[in-house]
Amino acid sequence: MGYHQCRFSYGSEQKVREIADNFRSRNIPCDAIWMDIDYMDGYRIFTFNETNFPDPKALNEELHQKGFKAVYMIDPGAKVDKNYHVYQSGTENDVWVKRPNGEIYEGKVWPGYCAFPDFTMPKAREWWSNLYKDFLALGIDGVWNDMNEPAVTDDDIPEENRIGTMPYDTPHRGGGNLPAGPHLLYHNAYGRLMVEASYEGIMKVNPEKRPFLLTRAGLLGYQRYAATWTGDNWAGWDHLKLSVPMSITLGLSGQAFNGPDIGGFLNNTDADLWAHWLGFGVFLPFARGHACAGTNDKEPWAFGEAIENTSRIALERRYRLLPYFYTLFYEAHKTGVPVMEPVFFADPKDLRLRSEQQAFLLGDNVLVIPAFAENPVLPYGIWENMTLIDGEYSDKYQAKLKIKGGSIVPVGKVIQSTTENSFEPLTLFVCLDENGKAHGQLYWDAGDGWNFQCGDYSLMTFSAEKKNNQVKVSLASKEGKRKIEKEIKALNVELMMNGKVYKGSGSLKKGVTINL
């Protein structure tokens, strides 16, 4: 849930180290570095370029030591090459999609002609899942399934007949509870079945860890296996603005963990566009900067010192909000309610809000107004400004944040990666309702593994109440067995009321009293 940095491609281990070191030396928060297809040997999936990536295990270990996770791309197409172990194995196990005449279907992708697993077959999904064993043993933390519509470069047929995928009459054999049928039936399901198989493979290798998987394609139910992003967008203002409604609608469709390529993937990005995009993009559920081959550099420091500072502020804001994000993801996991909501969720009866697609909500309690927004339609009621980082509101690119009356929002300190403790201290942002009360929750667990299923978590409910000229903030209830008191070293409170901020400090056990 931290920030991810990607490019097509960071083409060598040396370049990956350079990117990681820049984040740490510049004190810009980041949690993951991504490897696009150029880490492979001739774009062969589950291989490494021995010249540019001679020791991926050592590279991944170095990234881990610096607080980064390593994510690598795996496409569905396997190069047609009789000397290539994946193609050999797939042919021996009879898992490839075949043409109506029974021959293996071959379609062009990055390596040239490729064969594609028929993921409708249980044995093909099982075979695919087993490919991850040696791959993940190198210390790879996450997997990126791309091109899995599947995309096919059908440039060897007349342009008017190109469809960008395998021909619709290409048969899939099915099996289990899936019937045999043409690709026209299974096109939208192909990516969904692929990520299910990938998920199972990751779980076989690392059953004690929570898997991270990103996909470009999916179908209903794929959110159980993978996060998603909105595909190859364009570095332009139209796609920047479209980021908001696209991510909202993905959330409403069941995919809570989603976001665009911040900065725009295709075309060059200028400083102004990058800064505006990151200024609100850090509040989307999935926050990743990405860039296409042949475009300019799009890292936070690539646009000069002023924009680097803007980027640092934006990312520090996200990292302070990680306890709130984590709680929202817990709620999404339990109920399906999206992390990122349309503003009409604040008041479904207010029909004015139905057409707003610039501003958005994070959960029920935080309103995000991007700097590009013009005359946004906002909900009525008590909404106070939230300040997370000094200087954020003097920076024209930062989104405005508002906290809802009656809310308590948990935030942490600025950290450089999620390997650090957020709770030194835990801060509660409080905004009272018209009755002088507020409440909010914080969910926390180990951040990985499955012990939360056995009670190793803490779900805390906080309450605030104004009496006379005092506001008392306290822990109202706590569920779970986790000894959260060992992680929360101190408790601070910032009370937003009538445009002013009142501060106090105390402990989780005794609470905090603020004199007005």
Amino acid identity of 371?
A
* Dihedral angle, C-alpha 63, 66, 67, 72, nearest 10 °: -10
Query: Hey, is 438 helix, strand or coil?
Result: strand
Pair 487, 421: CB distance under 8 Å: yes
Q: What gap in Å lies between CA 39 and CA 46, rounded to an integer?
A: 10
| Helical H segments across 165-304, by residue range | 183-205, 237-252, 271-281
Written as one string, the DSSP assignment of 279-331 is: HHHTTSSSEEE---TTSPP-STTTT-HHHHHHHHHHHHHHHHTHHHHHHHHHH
Question: Rg for the chain (alpha carbons), in Å?
Answer: 24
Query: Hey, is 462 helix, strand or coil?
Result: strand
**What does each C-alpha distance from 108 to 80, 102, 190 come to in angstroms?**
10, 19, 17
Residue 160: is it exposed, middle or buried by C-beta count within 10 angstroms (0-12/13-18/19+)? exposed
Pair 201, 131: CB distance under 8 Å: yes
* Dihedral angle, C-alpha 224, 225, 227, 231, nearest 10 °: -120
Q: What gap in Å lies between CA 429 and CA 288, rounded to an integer?
A: 27
The sign of the dihedral angle between the CA atoms of 318, 320, 326, 329 is negative
Cα-to-chain-centroid distance, residue 161 = 36
Could you check whether the bond before residue 207 is cis, i.e. omega within 30 degrees of 0?
Answer: no
Residue in the structure block whose two tokens are 């099982």 = 126
Angle formed by the axes of helices 305-320 and 322-335, nearest 10°: 50
| Phi-psi sector, 432: left (phi>0), alpha (psi -120 to 50), beta | beta
Query: Hey, is 238 helix, strand or coil?
Result: helix
Query: Hey, is 429 helix, strand or coil?
Result: strand
**Of 238, 279, 237, 277, which Cα lies nearest the Cα of 261?**
277
Q: What gap in Å lies between CA 344 and CA 205, rounded to an integer?
A: 43
Query: Hey, is 137 helix, strand or coil?
Result: coil
CA angle 490, 493, 495 (to 5 degrees): 180
Query: Which residues are tagged catalytic?
Result: 146, 149, 232
